[in-house]
Amino acid sequence: MVDDAGRIVLHGRGASPGIAIGHIRFADDFVRVDRITIEDVPKELERVRIACDETVRQLQNRSETLRGKLGDDAAYLFEIHAMMIEDEDFQSSLTAKIADEHVCAEYAVQETGDEFASIFSSMDDEYMSGRANDVLDVSRQIIRNLGFGTKDGSETDTPRILAADDFSPSQTARFERSQVPAFVTRDGSITSHTAIFARTVGIPAIVGLGPALRMEFDGKLVIVDGTSGQLLIDPEESVVATYRREMEQMEHEQKVLEGFRGKPTKTSMGHTIRLFANIGSVEDARYAVDNDAEGIGLLRSEFLFLKCCGSAPDEETQFNAYRKVIRFMEGKPIIIRTIDIGADKQVPYLGLEEEQNPALGLRGIRLALKRPAVFETQLRAIYRAASIGDVSIMIPMVNSLDDVIAAKEIARQVRENLASEHVRFSDNVPFGIMIETPAAALISDELARHVDFFSIGTNDLTQYTLAVDRQNNMLEEFCDTHHEAILRLIRMTVENAHRAGIWAGICGELGADESLIDFFIDIGIDELSVAPSNILRLRSRIATGSKS
């Protein structure tokens, strides 16, 4: 960890390329408040009152801002949080702890939060038990307003490089590049959705730094090298200067790539490959546009569901979100993947049972078939959106022909209902599937006869073919993404698609792997859908045949 020159350098996995220089801040979950006894009870009661009032005010402001940007559902969470603070029982507990036990305000809030959270989590009702995290969240915010600890990035005033054990996909979905210039984690793997999010938004990130990432670094100047996976703590001025030069060099390279903006993506042999972007939210569409994507090859629609806290987004909310993406993309094609909830993307309000092996559990199409109401609502919104834009439907985690037939039957009924209700929708929406299990790849000849396109999800295809948990960073040395088995499954899928006269693309992270471009061209891949920041680099690589 300490190099020859006495510098502290931590090594993790580069999860999202790029360099960021700034001060590091640990997310609050790391910090516990000590029990401090106080003498002046009225003063402590006044402190807690001011902090609660301030937190309620901040939550109301945030709720109003979000209502404008993302609609009522997103705003609702913060209203619930404000109500929790104002709750009579919550307030009496704070007062009792300070007045009777003579503990400091911070400790009283922490203890009250813990007690309420354990009451919530012991409740049978799934919705109520899901409120445990909310009450912990609001308690942390009050504690911060009491002047303790650090902030959690989503509301920081000065940009900070964030550190934590790990961030959940729903936490990262709230990060803004302007506020969180980079993040680093002890755990996590490079194919987790947290890492994928970082690449989509273009935030440099390092995962898997392990226990060497210590709390004592909080507040220090650090350099995040998201390409090499190195985190430099308190670097000397000369090292900072070197990295700043490297950042300038990267900016220069980016300017050269700008020459490929607006150009078609063609190989030297004249084969056209469509270069699309993967996005996880409406806002991400702007990264697709900024980076000159030719369309959206994967809209991970479940992120709409992860941002909503009380309930699944209704048809209107989803329709509006898809409509916004359509407007952003100005006529370019958009492939909406129906929700792939489950595995690492959990939402409390669906009341799903805890699973021993969530990656092998109720996710993707399996969940859609078990919860047809959620699936139907989403399909209604998609078919309506398709009447105003070039939209396709894509189904995740398909494993069998039965999955396809069942999904298509629900889609047919949805169209029939829309027609009988005289709702405006498109009856002509391409229906594709993801190939992300070995089973699907092996029967892709059969599946190809029933769908309009294939998109190969190499993240899961790798996980399921090699039996390597994509969330487990200890297994990365066993995760050979170029394994012959995976390359054969990809080739087989593309060949079977072409034999049946449909197109095939790749929307997993492997699609952006420059070292495989010649292989992709050789097998005749039709589309690559990648993190927006990779688009110009890949277009240059495909057109010139050389590495950028």
Which residue, 90 or 276, is less far from ligand PEP as judged by CB? 276
Sign of CA dihedral 255, 261, 263, 266: positive
Which residue, 186 or 363, is less far from ligand PEP as judged by CB? 363
Whole-angstrom distance, CA of residue 355 vs CA of residue 295: 36
Whole-angstrom distance, CA of residue 334 vs CA of residue 468: 31
Q: Which residue in the list 193, 308, 309, 479 is annotated as catalytic?
A: 193
Q: Which does 230 bind (CB under 5 to 8 A by kind): ligand PEP, Mg ion, none?
A: none
Identify which of 512, 527, 449 has the alpha carbon closest to the alpha carbon of residue 481: 512
- Among the listed ranges 204-212, 398-406, 457-465, 477-485, the one in contact with ligand PEP (CB under 6 A) is 457-465
Is 507 one of the annotated active-site residues of the chain?
Answer: yes
Which of 111, 152, 166, 460 binds Mg ion (CB under 5 A)? It is: 460
CB of 460 to Mg ion, least distance (A): 4
Determine, following the binding rule CB under 6 A, whether residue 28 of this chain makes contact with ligand PEP: no
Which of 14, 313, 457, 505 binds Mg ion (CB under 5 A)? It is: 457
Biggest distance spanned by C-alpha atoms of the chain? 81
Which residue, 111 or 403, is less far from ligand PEP as judged by CB? 403
Alpha helices in 421-510 (DSSP H): 438-442, 444-447, 458-466, 484-499
Q: Which does 365 bind (CB under 5 to 8 A by kind): Mg ion, ligand PEP, none?
A: none
SS3 of 167-205: the string is: CCHHHHCCCCCCCCCCEEECCCCCCCHHHHHHHHHCCCE
User: DSSP label at 2?
Assistant: B
Which residue, 194 or 318, is less far from ligand PEP as judged by CB? 194
Determine, following the binding rule CB under 6 A, whether residue 507 of this chain makes contact with ligand PEP: yes
Residue showing tokens 């680099």? 537
Determine, following the binding rule CB under 5 A, whether residue 73 of this chain makes contact with Mg ion: no
- By the 10 Å C-beta count (0-12 exposed, 13-18 middle, 19+ buried), 283 is classed as middle
> Count residues contacting ligand PEP (CB under 6 A)?
11
Which residue, 15 or 196, is less far from ligand PEP as judged by CB? 196
Determine, following the binding rule CB under 6 A, whether residue 134 of this chain makes contact with ligand PEP: no
CB of 465 to ligand PEP, least distance (A): 11
Find the helix packing angle between 535-544 and 237-257, rounded to 10°. Answer: 60
> Which positions ≥6 away from 195 have C-beta within 8 Å?
15, 16, 188, 189, 205, 207
CB of 435 to ligand PEP, least distance (A): 9
Q: Which does 25 bind (CB under 5 to 8 A by kind): Mg ion, ligand PEP, none?
A: none
Residues with catalytic annotation? 193, 507
List residues near ligand PEP by CB under 6 A. Answer: 196, 298, 300, 340, 436, 457-460, 507-508
